[in-house]
Copies of this chain bind each other. A is one copy, B any other.
Amino acid sequence: MTAYSATVTVRLKEGVLDPEAETTERALERLGFELESLSSADQFDIELDAADEETAHERVREMTERLLANPTLHDYEVSVEQR
């Protein structure tokens, strides 16, 4: 078995309202900052053992589909590297 580090980035799909990000953007503007846009994402860093990189990537993809992301609302990216 080999040790891998995976990063999962979960974002709301295009068109889904993100009130938290909108509130954050307005607060920054009230503080005097000028910005075009702000969006937010959740990031999960997972350490796991697997037979190979492909297996590690598949396992983390399953974790994401089962728990970390809601496929109806979210898009996600998974990246894996050997530790």
Contact = CB atoms under 8 A, between A and B. Distances in A.
Contacts of A35: 46-48, 63
A72 interface: no
A34 B28 CA distance: 40
Contacts of A66: 28, 31, 33
Given A24-B67, A63-B28, A67-B24, A45 B34 contact: no
Given A27-B67, A63-B28, A67-B24, A47 B37 contact: yes
Interface residues of A, number: 30
Interface of A: 3, 9, 21, 24, 27-28, 31, 33-49, 59, 62-63, 66-68
